[in-house]
């Protein structure tokens, strides 16, 4: 039985407490702390996490912008020209339309029918010959914001459309050289 504890002086009491606390951590304690701190340390990225986050955000913005950007189609100009099928006419394509696809939606989008009379909503591409493309461009340039029906030649049939609203630039044929007129076109 330990004696003298109840009669200890302050110095003796301090010594007893000091002896009770004379404990050392295990020999590898400091090494374990160093290892744990090294594992806890963030990866050494220059500038921290911010540059990779910014790059990721930029890539997302580019991908989003590419997804939302409208496709370039033939005849698209600053004016809104809607090519729609005639409500009473059969949905027949113009002969010059090689592969026309449209979007079957209630809105008057560029939905050109296919040869079978059905609209395929996959693509927005309209493939026409260059000469037809040029004709369309001239038409759209001269029309402005008005909308027009464009039907195929077969659908037009015997109907004659008056071209009063379309200004077609007259073809100016300059007269032949009077000197060679009598000789004919071919010399």
Partner 1 sequence: MHEYVDRFPDSLTHVADERDREFDRLLAESSPLVFRIAYSVLRHREDAEDVAQEAFIKAHRNLRRLRDRGAFRAWLVRLTWRLAIDRQRANRRRANRDDQHAHSLPSITSGDAAIVNERAELVWKAIDALPRKLRLAMVLSAIEGHDIREIASLLRVPEGTVKSRLFHARELMKESLKCLMVSRE
Find the shortest distance in angstroms from Cβ 15 to partner 1.
9
Q: How far is it, in rounded angstroms, from Cα 44 to Cα 48?
A: 7
* Spatial contact of 89 and 65, defined as CB atoms under 8 Å apart: no
Q: Does 134 bind partner 1 (CB under 8 A)?
A: no
Radius of gyration of the chain (CA): 43
Q: Residue 126 belongs to what H/E stretch?
A: strand 126-128
Q: What number of other Cβ atoms are within 10 A of residue 127's Cβ?
A: 12
Q: Does 25 bind partner 1 (CB under 8 A)?
A: yes
Find the shortest distance in angstroms from Cβ 6 to partner 1.
4
The dihedrals phi and psi of 128, each to the nearest 5 degrees, come to: -135, 165
Find the shortest distance in angstroms from Cβ 2 to partner 1.
4
Q: How far is it, in rounded angstroms, from Cα 77 to Cα 140?
A: 9
Find the shortest distance in angstroms from Cβ 135 to partner 1.
59
Contact string 46-85 vs partner 1 (x = CB under 8 A): x---------------------------------------
Q: State the residues that interact with partner 1 by CB under 8 A.
A: 1-2, 5-6, 8, 10, 13-14, 16-21, 23-26, 29-30, 32-34, 36-37, 40-41, 46
């Amino acid at each position: 039985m330990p004696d003298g504890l109840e009669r200890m002086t302050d110095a003796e009491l301090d010594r007893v407490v000091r002896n009770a606390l004379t404990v050392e951590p295990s020999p590898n304690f400091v090494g374990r702390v160093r290892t744990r701190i090294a594992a806890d340390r963030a990866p050494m990225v220059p500038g921290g996490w911010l540059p990779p986050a910014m790059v990721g955000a930029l890539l997302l913005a580019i991908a989003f912008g590419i997804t939302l950007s409208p496709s370039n189609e033939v005849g698209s100009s600053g004016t809104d020209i809607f090519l729609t099928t005639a409500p009473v006419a059969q949905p027949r394509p113009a002969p010059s339309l090689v592969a026309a696809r449209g979007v079957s939606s209630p809105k008057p989008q560029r939905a050109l029918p296919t040869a079978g009379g059905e609209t395929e909503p996959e693509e927005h591409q309209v493939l026409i010959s260059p000469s037809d493309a040029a004709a369309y461009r001239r038409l759209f340039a001269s029309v402005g914001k008005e909308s027009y029906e464009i039907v195929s030649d077969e659908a037009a049939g015997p109907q004659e459309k008056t071209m009063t609203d379309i200004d077609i630039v007259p073809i100016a044929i300059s007269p032949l050289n009077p000197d060679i007129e009598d000789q004919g076109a071919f010399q």
